[in-house]
Structure 1
Amino acid sequence: MSERPVSEIRTVACIGAGVIGAGWAAYFLARGLRVRAWDPAPDAADKLRRVIDAAWPALTELGLAEGADPHAITLFPTAAEAVAGAGFVQESAPEDLALKRSLLAELAAAAGPDVVVASSTSGYPMTDMATDAADPSRLVVGHPFNPPYLIPLVEVVGGERTAAWATARAAAFYRHIGKSVIEMDRELPGFIANRLQEAIWREALHMVAAGEATPEEIDRSITDGPGLRWPVHGPCLTFHLAGGEGGMAHMLDHFGPSLKSPWTRLEAPELTPALRDDMVAGAEVSAGGRPMAELVAERDRAVIAVRRAVEAARAAGAGHR
């Protein structure tokens, strides 16, 4: 167990230089860290450079940390050499379970005894990936969203043999460098956000396959509809507001029967009293004690800001054509 504060981590190893791995490297560099990288592809150096250079203007606009340097990255011939001396390891190899198992075992053996090794996997539980590691106690999932240098969310969860301190340290490190972290209590294939976006994706494919909607209509139904609310209030708090002054309790009691309506191909869970109470309590936590009028005003300000920002970005893009 490491007692060193995460603020003392100055060097990160990025294992894998694909879209996710290179995006992580760009973000770490923008936070003033030094990066040691490895990727078996012969053109890895070129791929890394292209992604970092493409990401740097956006990172600059968001604000660079002191000492940020897009060239503070070194590519090593082996994964073990890249890990040597790193204070944190981010693995971003392809989604191949056998590859993940062997690579994570190698990284765990090469990393220092107090160094956490995090996997960017988009779906595999760490329990399944850590089977070959002699010491899996420092192996955790640190699941980002593409592109990692722009999207703040990271889902953190350990496996059955992950030490609690390792999960907590990974979460603390990500928060320290500016990420929004969900530290999950238990493993779940696909984690939280991927399962939610996959539900929308499956329903979209059903509609296209049945000739019920076009891809353009589906995209616009989100970008010009509920997607405008989600940057400030997620699905649960959105439905809390849909209940008016009665909040989530009124929404569930009033609209609960519609859960069984054939609006989607996904089977809805039974709205038991326990599930209803959990949703009501969760909405109250998300609301943080703020009155409904304040939440509505916050949502409205944010939606206006998001619409203006998107319109400005589109206008700027059109001007460059």
Structure 2
Amino acid sequence: MSVADMAAIWFFAGAALLLAALALGYLRWWRSLADLSRAARVTLILTTVGGLIGAVFWWQDMPASFAWDLPPLASRMLGAAATAFGIAGLFVLERPTQARGRLHALVSAIYLIPLAVAAIALHLDRFDLAAPISWGFFAAVGVLSISAVVALSADRGGAPRSLVFAGQSAWLLVAGTLLALWGLALFLAPATAFPLVFNWPADALTSRLIAAMLLTVAAAFLVARGDAPLVPQALLLGAVYGLGVVIAIVPNMLRGLPWPPLYLAAFAVLGIVSAGFLLAGRARAG
């Protein structure tokens, strides 16, 4: 059996699993999300279920599990991003409010839309348009981008904002600003030969994929800084992604392969501090 045949089998098996999981997600959560618009519900369920299922494949760097070939470390970092989206999405699904649904739609749009525009405008040659996974990628990104934008335009109301604790506010501001600057630099100049910050200068599309998640976490932090009920959602996204990236780097360290020390340090701080504030907030509330 050829590699292309195996890739097609994995694609259709993954698609079937995703559809089954989406059906279960619809039955489990749709009615409980009545305060959210239909577009917000679609975005939330699709990104949560899709992220958790995709993470299984990307953490293992399974062949042809993504629309273009990723370096193993980048594939695991994508798995970390998908896991973070999935777990943060579960948090919102179990504790839904309009504001949380809107934040989830916002971070989904920030992650997907710039990446989609860059992929089509600058990197279309990286996609095998004869492969089902390529069309699956563009279909999923297109549907989710549209649903996220519609959700943002529909869900404009919500409860009044409440104050955030000073320590949390400072962390969200500092970390969000630094991540935004790093993400913008990486997205706009992905081929810069500075390995500490630009880990794949020869692979601009993969660099932009990583940059998209930096911008996503930055947006979550900066928006949540103005509304206390959004803080746990943002901190959870940052904690899971930060610790996930650390776990993604460990195999390279154990195998004697190159690994990015700044990424390890920065994401360890992101994960540990975000988790600390998250646990401290739960202790205050409980």
Task: Answer whether TM exceeds 0.5 for this pair.
Answer: no
Max Rg structure: 1
Q: What is the TM-score when the length of structure 1 is the normalising length?
A: 0.26
Greater helix content: 2
Higher RCO (Cα < 8 Å, 6 or more apart): 2
Q: What is the TM-score when the length of structure 2 is the normalising length?
A: 0.28
